[in-house]
Amino acid sequence: MVKNIKSGNWLIAILLACITAVILTSTAPTIGLTWDEPMYITGADSYAAWFDVLAGNPKQAVKAETIDKYWTFNHEHPPLEKIWSGLVAKAARHFFDELTANRLGVILMVSLLIAMLYLIVAQTYGKAAGFFAAAALLSMPRFFFHAHLAALDMPVAVASFGLAFIFWKTIDRKGWAWGILCGVVLGLAAATKLNGVFILIALILWSLFFRRKWSVVLRFLLTGFTSVLIFFLIWPWLYHQTWVRIMEYVNFHLHHFAVGQWYLGHFYMTPPWHFTFVILWAVVPLSVMILCLAGMARAGKGKQDGGMAWLLIMCIAVSILPFIIGKSELHDNDRLFIPVFPFIAALAGIGFDWLIKGLEKIFIRIKQPALTITTPIIMGIALLISQSAAMAGLYPHLLSYYSEGVGGLRGANKLGMETTYWCETYSAALPYLNSQAKPGDTIWVEPLSANVLIYYQTIGRLRRDVQIMTPPNTQSVLQPASSEPVSKTPWQADWFIVQYNQSQFVRNGSDMYSLLQTLDSRKPVYQVISQGVPLMRLYGVLK
């Protein structure tokens, strides 16, 4: 190893986790609600309620009718994030607003991720590299946005990195307990989201190159067996009709409904193979990406760090491979491969260590050794200041961040990249609507996005005497705050919220396009614009 383990690293890791939790919790109320969150929050509340039944009457809790009552909702996805967030929210509601309480479970998970990221880098490459890796990840604007959300993508990123972390820390330790520990973490990852199991492939490949031992093979067998038990144990939905429900789960992912993606000025149902590489280049800050590539180049034969850099590289590769070869549904820009961001940050930390070590050699050669003390701090700030400034300028609409590698948001817009997604800009329209809408006014939003506004009504951030329009013959997953959503044609609405999510423009057909053309010819009553690019516009009555 490059550096021996220092006892202070654990204290620093805990401190970083606490700082992360404070930052994310304090900013959670201002981060706009996203399309998926109401669904997962509803599921979290239902799952948490089942645990109340379990505590009071265990026999009743495991009966089929009870499980069906509490676990049917959102059973197409595994339950771990919803269990955790639901239980955390039950306690957090005594101290935080409703939205923050529902997001706190994920925020705590991200805080743990930052601690693990610091440790895995610092204990091999030194504190400066560990600090940079943690700071680089948290200051990635898109990562920072996702780190708040009551959704599945960040938890599966935490679980995936956690598995790699535990594997790395225990691979040379003897005893069957470490295989069981890895199995528990793998089971938790699988119980978070399907792509949580991808990292196992990277661990197996890495072992073939760096640990060709029978003991490692036995450990993987123990890991696999344990993970299956954990996966089934943690998901009561599978306690009855087990095989039928497993096949339903598998078929949901094998035949996921088509979504599509706007990319380079065209709409694709399945984006081309290079989409993942282009998006990563476009949304990861340029300095971090360059240092990540330097960290990859430093991997060599793995003798310097025992193969840690190669482990990180392989984790990135297996995380994006299904999307490159078209074997997994791909949409929402970076959202589905959020798990690669922590590995990119770790490699950037390794690249940063290479940079400062090179500078230190130069300072010693020119007989200025005192400069080596301040070099890590100055270089760290210099390398991260651009993305931090960009994040401050865009905040809280960070899903519109694009790096210097594509010319920022303006450059990405010219290239035909998607401006934003996931309805997060809707929150910006709420103050105007609350002050100007008349009782009974109807609000039109993109099809299937009504849940976002209905949830805002439920928690009191949007007036309850306005009505949210939904497409005909659809029903909200939430109980509306006042009355049932109104199913009318878009032309009958009083207010129109348009987010510049180009995939939605194309996906919803000619009626949507015609409406947008009409709206575009009018002056919005309120809008959010960044770098000359509109992110959201609010229009008043057409009639």
Looking at residue 1, its pLDDT comes to 43
Which amino acid is residue 445, in one-letter code?
Answer: V
pLDDT, averaged across the chain: 89
Q: Given this model, what pLDDT does residue 455 score?
A: 93
**Least confidently predicted of 63-72, 300-309, 457-466, 482-491:** 482-491
Note the Cα 71 to chain centre separation in Å: 24
- Residue 166, CA distances (Å) to 116, 265, 480 in order: 9, 42, 44
> Quick check: 196 and 154 in contact, CB under 8 A?
no
Compute φ and ψ for 469, nearest 5 degrees.
-85, 145
What average pLDDT does the segment 416-433 reach? 93
> What tokens appear for 340 in the block?
């690669």
Strand (E) or helix (H) holding 80: helix 80-92
Which residue type is seen at 463? R
495 backbone dihedrals φ, ψ, rounded to 5°: -135, 150
List beta partners, residue 444. 496
pLDDT at 5: 46
541 has pLDDT over 80: no
The model's pLDDT over 183-192, given as tens digits with 9 standing for 90+, comes to 999 999 999 9
Using an 8 Å Cβ cutoff, are 433 and 19 in contact?
no
Over residues 330-335, the mean pLDDT reads 84
pLDDT for 485 beyond 60: no
Centre a 10 Å sphere on the Cβ of residue 517 and count the other Cβ atoms it contains.
Answer: 9
**Which pLDDT does position 376 carry in this prediction?**
86
Task: Judge whether residue 481 has pLDDT over 50.
Answer: no
Is a pLDDT exceeding 60 seen at residue 532? yes
CB 411 within 8 A of CB 533: no
Q: Which residue has the higher pLDDT, 141 or 174?
A: 141
Helices 308-324, 286-297: crossing angle, 10 deg rounding = 120
Please answer whether residues 326 and 273 qualify as being in contact, where contact means their C-beta atoms are separated by less than 8 angstroms: yes
Which residue has better confidence, 58 or 212?
Answer: 58
φ, ψ for residue 111, nearest 5 deg: -60, -40
Give pLDDT, residue 302. 75
Whether pLDDT at 139 is above 90: yes
Q: Are strands 533-539 and 467-468 parallel, antiparallel or unpaired?
A: unpaired
Average pLDDT over residues 355-359: 89
Q: Residue 480 above 60 pLDDT?
A: no
* Integer CA distances (angstroms), 295 to 254, 398, 475, in order: 35, 26, 49
- Domain parsing of the chain, residue ranges: 8-343, 424-539
Average pLDDT over residues 416-428: 92
* Predicted pLDDT of residue 478: 62
| DSSP code for 467 | E
User: How far apart are the C-alpha atoms of 334 and 399, rounded to whole Å?
Assistant: 9
DSSP string, 253-307: HHTPPP--EEETTEEESS--TTHHHHHHHHHS-HHHHHHHHHHHHTTTTSTTTTT
Kindly tell me if the per-residue pLDDT of 362 is higher than 90: no
pLDDT band of residue 474 (cuts 50, 70, 90) is low
Confidence at residue 149, expressed as pLDDT on a 0 to 100 scale: 96
β-strands 261-263, 526-530: how paired?
unpaired
CB contact set of 254 (below 8 Å; sequence gap of 6+)? none
The pLDDT score that the predictor gives to residue 330 is 77
**Mean per-residue pLDDT for 116-121?**
97
Count Cα atoms within 13 angstroms, Cβ side, for 524.
Answer: 19
Q: Considering only CA atoms, which of 286, 346, 285 is closest in space to residue 310?
A: 346
Out of 118-127, 197-206, 208-217, 394-403, which region has the weakest mean confidence (pLDDT)? 208-217
**Is residue 161 a contact partner of residue 116, using CB atoms and an 8 Å limit?**
yes
**Is residue 517 scored above 80 in pLDDT?**
no
